Structure 1
Amino acid sequence: RGEILELKNTINTMVDQLSAFADEVTRVAREVGTAGNLGGQARVRGVSGTWKDLTDNVNVMASNLTGQVRSIAQVATAVARGDLSQRITVDAEGEVAALADVINTMVDTLSAFADEVTRVAREVGTDGRLGGQANVPNVAGTWKDLTDNVNSMANNLTNQVRNIALVTTAVARGDLSKKIDVDARGEILELKTTINTMVDQLSAFA
């Protein structure tokens, strides 16, 4: 009774609040940190002071992590679907900020690569403007290999077409002294052989 009863009630209330606080923090930590279920928030009724501050800090941490992971996932999903227009813009620090920077740099590189390959393909394949080369700065590994392969293809095609054009133009002007000597394979090789045979026959006829 009396003050002892008050002390008993106070201690029991404190134990209840600490138990509720521990349960909620554990639940949120398990949901977000272990199960990967984002968006969880701790709800502890009747707390104030340090306990409210701790609850708020746990919720801010969970909310920040949720926002950061979802933003990263959104951009990664967009890239997987071929959309290179999105970037990670969520506020972050430390390792999460470093991860966001790496992913944004990756998207920038992919975007530059796609733009350059598209430009060269359009110039050479559609517009017939030869000599174009893809220029993608700071690429390495597979992206550099792909860029080099595109440039090699464009360069080979340029040399082949220009050499064929040089010989056929000479023939049209009555000059039968030139032959196609550029390296070629497949259908381009067949065309080269056909034109060179034609030049030989015209030469013999002349």
Structure 2
Amino acid sequence: MTTVDRTETQSDADAVLAELADVLTRFRRGDFNVRLTRRSGLAGDVADRFNEVVAVHRRSTREVRRICRVVGREGRLTERLDHEALDGGWQETAGAINELIDDLVRPSREIARVIEAVAAGDLTQHSELSIDDRPLRGEFLRIGHTVNAMVDQLSSFTAEVTRVAREVGTEGKLGGQADVKGATTGTWRDLTDSVNLMASNLTNQVRSISQAATAIAQGDLSRKITVGAKGEVAELADTINSLTDTLRVFAEEVTRVAREVGTEGKLGGQADVRGASGTWKDLTDNVNSMAANLTSQVRNIAQVSTAVALGDLSQKITV
């Protein structure tokens, strides 16, 4: 080989190495579009192999990006990398990514299963803390415990509210209160307090109404419903209080007329029950009619008796 040939060969080698250095630098920086120029001989073989490596990297990157999109964004949890078509470290890397997706999907599906059951009203389901004989760890374990605690809280709250509603509303056991263990803060505490306040108010209102009604039945017309109430319960309380007032006035008036006419001999007395209507008006009218008839009869008898006493035998009882 002449000196010129050796110089040209060295120059070609330097050019190949310079191109390789540039391409490797760009490849290291993540540029998977780089390629070595095709050449003959050993340099061509090296270029072909390098270009194949870059192509594999490019395909792998596209495939990983696709999996990230379809699994992470589109929610297609059954998609996986095709690692069977790869060899060696490429296959191991794809298999590791698939295993990562599996590890993420399994607890997510388990949590979704429990949440769907809760949404459907089934509070018996709990998140498994060991899936496929692989116990959950870290954040997955914490989330699993949190979901299970939520289900237990809902179950306890539902059971207690149902119990109080059954005891107060169906069985008539007043005074029931919900006791939801662990409900010390937040919405659960607010809901529990609201249910207990409702049950307490209902208990106080019904007991007050019952006491007033019992007093009326026993002839005690001094009792009134004083417990605070609104809406229909307030209307019912006002109605019973009005009933008590009407009964008391009616009783007082009937007693007065009976005393004046029957005991004190004051004839002509009439009961005056203000606002009386319906049966109360009929009863008042009957009492007044009885008092009026009795007055007329007694006065007529008295007139005749007085006339007889005075020697006037012409008078007769005409009432």
One fold, TM greater than 0.5?
yes
Offset from partner CA, 1:57-101 (integer Å, 9 cap, x none): 000000000110111011111111111110111100000000011
Tell me what 2:151 maps to.
15
Please show how residues 180-191 of structure 1 align to structure 2 within 5 Å: 180-182=317-319
- Other-structure match for 2:219: 82
**CA RMSD, aligned part only?**
1.2
- Residue 179 of structure 2 is matched in structure 1 by 43
Residue 298 of structure 2 aligns to which amino acid in structure 1? V
1:11-160 maps to which residues of 2 (within 5 A)?
11-47=147-183, 48-160=185-297
Superposed displacement of residue 134, structure 1: 0.7
Deviation of the 1:8 alpha carbon: 1.3
The Cα offsets for residues 134-153 of structure 1, whole Å up to 9 and x where unpaired, read as 11112122222221111111
Q: How many residues align?
A: 182
Identity among equivalent positions (%) equals 73
Cα distance, 1:178 vs. partner? 2.4
1:147 alignment partner AA? T
Shift of 1:175: 3.1
Once residues 78 and 35 of structure 1 are traced to their aligned partners in structure 2, the CA distance between those partners, rounded to angstroms, is 23
Letter in 1 for 2:151: V
- Counterpart position of 1:203: none
Contiguous gaps of at least 5 residues in structure 2: 1-136
Q: Which amino acid aligns with 2:168?
A: V
Q: Which amino acid aligns with 2:286?
A: N
Q: Secondary structure, in 3 states, of the residue corresponding to 1:140?
A: coil
1:171 and 1:13 mapped to 2: Cα distance?
101
Asked whether 1:170 is paired with 2:170, we answer no
Normalised by the length of structure 1, the TM-score is: 0.84
Once residues 176 and 150 of structure 1 are traced to their aligned partners in structure 2, the CA distance between those partners, rounded to angstroms, is: 34
Once the 2 structures are TM-superposed, how far is the Cα of residue 104 of structure 1 from its aligned partner?
A: 0.8
Which stretch of the first structure deviates more once superposed, 160-169 or 43-52?
160-169
What secondary structure, in the 3-state scheme, does the structure 2 residue paired with 1:129 have? coil
**Within 2, Cα distance between the matches of 1:39 and 1:157?**
54
TM-score of the pair, normalised by structure 2: 0.55
Instruction: Write the deviation string for residues 19-78 of structure 1: whole angstroms up to 9, x where unpaired.
Output: 111111111111112222211100012112011000000000000001101110111111
Counterpart residue type for residue 259 of structure 2: R
Rounded Cα–Cα distance in structure 2 between residues aligned with 1:124 and 1:176: 28
- Whole-Å separation in 1 of the counterparts to 2:142 and 2:278: 72
- TM-superposed deviation, 1:170: 2.4
